[in-house]
Each structure stands twice: as structure tokens, then as C-alpha cells.
Structure 1
Amino acid sequence: MKKSLEIRRLDIYDAVGVYTIQFLDKAETEFMDFMSKYKDIADPILKEDFNRIIAILRKIIAKGASERLFRTCESKINDRVVAIPLDIRRRKKGSGTLRLYCLRISDEVLILGNGGIKYGNAYNDNEELNTYVSDLAKLDHVITKFTGQGKIKIIDKTVILKDKLIIEI
């Protein structure tokens, strides 16, 4: 089943343009959904993960979306899906880690997705995380295709969508 979405601008800063996605059948953007679920998390280790994610986002806003700030190769080798935070303190077995999945288009353009608690070695062990990552991977494919067709233009930190473009993934 196809999902309809829009790319929404959160803000354009000196170093980076930050965007998120809005599925048309949901009230919140993917990033706001992530924030709503985890900003008040009680578990102290996961709260530390959340705070590190926020600290990295602040660094990205200040300096740009440099590849070294992300966990790369989170999805397939040929897409731009990445995760925050980059490094995780070792955990005891059975403890999860909080992840925020994103599309890093360039050092100047970042699309924030959704995320959650990752248990085990791979995001695809968790149906919810697998959905977030596969949606971003599909979106990356569509962005590449639409950029070639002129429906999407990426100029510096700005993503320009032709005529309030609705994207199907």
C-alpha cells in the first residue's frame, strides 16, 4: 500500500536546511512524533541517548550535516539513510538504544525522520524501526528520481518542490 507524504521545512539555518516528512494520514510530522514519544522518557540510559540526539542536532544546526556526525549504512549501501547518535555507550544485554533515523542529502540538507528503541544488532529486527528506515529509503529513491525530472530542486540548503508536491512511497 502506497503512503502519501509531503516534505516539510522545519527551518533553514546558516549551515543547514532542516526538513521532516509529514504523512498525509497523520496529524504530526515524523520528527514531532519522535519528540512527543521520547522527550520525557523515564529510563535514565535512554534519556541520555535522547539528550545526545538533541546535542548532535544542535551541532548540525551550527556546523552542518557532516557525515561524521551520523551512523552511516543504516539501510542499504546505496541510499542516504543515517542514524543519530553516532556512538553508543556499551549496554548490558537486553538494553536498547534510542535512534533517530534521517536522510542526509548533503552537508547542507537533512531530512529528519522518526525513530525508536533499537534492541539487538539490526533495525530490521524491530517492525516499527524497519518501517521508519524503509520509508526513508523509499523517499530517498523518489527524491533522486524527482530531482532528475525537475520536480524537486536542491539548491544549497533549500529543497524546492514543484507545486506543493505530494510524494507517494
Structure 2
Amino acid sequence: MSDLMDFLQRNAANKGVMATLRYALADKTEIRAWPLLAGLKGIGPSQQARAVRTVAALFAYHPQPCDEGNMGTVCRRLCGADEHTWESTDGQGRTVAPGPMSRRFMYLLSADREEICARTARVVLYAKSKEIPVNYATLEKDLASWPRARAAWASTFWGTEQTKEKVGEETA
């Protein structure tokens, strides 16, 4: 377990710490969270620091962690039951466009290192509204090494039928 995840789990019930960490999500207020993030390498312009700030703030907003999956899993769970996750054809041969969450996921995957944290934050906040847990330990690693995690997220989202069935069972 990373130092960040250990810190977050130890302080999950501390409302003051969680309130302070939420400031890290906005550039104009992130400095308020620096005293808590300094020892966790969450200060500065590096990708690792951005990942630490983002995960800390998102955990503070949505402290419903899980130990499985990645953002591909979260996005797959956010898809509506009738949503197509890729362009396909209907029974009459007409093209059916991907649904809104699928398009949002493609937008997420197209992010560069400077954009990925903000785009991920929007998806996690949406997951909060649907009570879908997030694997923050994996998210921290993925954001810090972006774009290397892109293929893993895509494989999970558009994976085999067995993968999709497993995700469906977990949300049922």
C-alpha cells in the first residue's frame, strides 16, 4: 500500500482532513492542502504530484474505495443498461452510435498528461453520484504513469464478454 493510501485510510473518518484534501482538486485552492500533501510528494508540477493531489481530493469527495479494477471498470459500470459501448449495427443494419458514457470514456482516454487528472476527476464525481466505488490505489499508479495505463483501461472497458459479465454481476 502506498503512503498516500495508508494516510487516506487512516484519516477517512477525520472530517477536517477530508475537507482540507478536497481543496487539492482546484488549482486556485490546492495550496490549502499542501500541509497535508507535502510528506506524500503531492506538491509540485510533476505527474506524480498531480496524481497524489487528485487521488487525495477524490477520496475526500468519494471515500468509497474498492480493491479491484481500474477506471475502465468504473466507466463500464457507469454505462446504462441499454448503452452501446462501441459503434455497432442494430437488427436492421443501421449504425448505432456509442452511448454517452462510452463517448465520455473515449474522451478520457484521449487525454494527455496535463489533462488526465481533471478528466478523471469528473468521472469519479459522477461515479460518486451513482455510488460506484473506485480503486484509488490503482488510480494513483495509473495517473502517475499516464499514458501507460490507457491500454489497461481500454481493455477493461471493452474487454471480453466474460469481463463484461463479471462487471455486470458486481453492480447487480
| TM-score (norm: length of structure 1) | 0.30
Which structure features the higher share of strand residues? 1
Which structure features the higher share of helix residues? 2
| TM-score (norm: length of structure 2) | 0.30
